[in-house]
Amino acid sequence: MAYCTLDDVQALIPTTIWDHDATSPIPTATQATDFLADVDAEIDARLAGIYSTPITGAGSLAVITPIAARLVAIRVWGVCFTGRSGDAAIPEDWKRAEKLLDKLAAGDASLPDAGETGAVSSLNPGAPAMTMRTIVEDPLQDVEMEPTFSMEDKF
């Protein structure tokens, strides 16, 4: 299941620049469909450390679909302006999609109904799920120990 459709991407790009329904658009609908698959794989790869992928929850898809559409639109936009003169500047809100994806991957933002893998969470990024028992009291608390390193050590 793709996170967005060509229609979602087309909604972001004026048809005077790119029309996926035209007889010979550049990039072609096939190329743009390949972009969809590439972006889906990129999103899944970046979020797999936190969420079960592919993302399927309705609330989460409401966040992911615009990100995917904008990431594909950036690729289409780049092909449309290759070799053309004029302003090829990417719209600012499209750039924010990448930043939001980075935040989701880092655990600094969350998807409301996506299943978490437990590998990383916003509370303990990078920490594995705890599988060891908790020691209530340190059994060596009364044992005097010498420090492993001193200030005089050189490495």
For residue 141, being part of any structural domain is answered with no
For residue 82, being part of any structural domain is answered with yes
For residue 29, being part of any structural domain is answered with yes
For residue 94, being part of any structural domain is answered with yes
For residue 47, being part of any structural domain is answered with yes
For residue 15, the Cα-to-chain-centroid distance in whole angstroms is: 28
Structure tokens at 104: 């989701």
For residue 118, being part of any structural domain is answered with no
pLDDT band at 4 (very low <50, low <70, confident <90, very high): very high
Quick one: residue 73, left, alpha or beta (phi over 0 = left, psi -120 to 50 = alpha)? alpha
**Domain of residue 67, residue span:** 6-106
Mean pLDDT of the chain: 82
For residue 76, being part of any structural domain is answered with yes
Closest to 18 measured CA to CA, from 7, 2, 5: 7
pLDDT band at 110 (very low <50, low <70, confident <90, very high): confident
Give every CB contact of residue 29 below 8 A, 6+ residues apart in sequence: 6, 20
Number of domain units in the chain? 1
At residue 143, the pLDDT reads 81
For residue 117, being part of any structural domain is answered with no
Alpha helices in the chain (DSSP H): 6-10, 29-47, 58-81, 92-106
What is the Cα–Cα distance from 63 to 28, expressed in whole angstroms? 27
Residue for token pair 């916003």 = 122
> Is the pTM here over 0.95, yes or no?
no
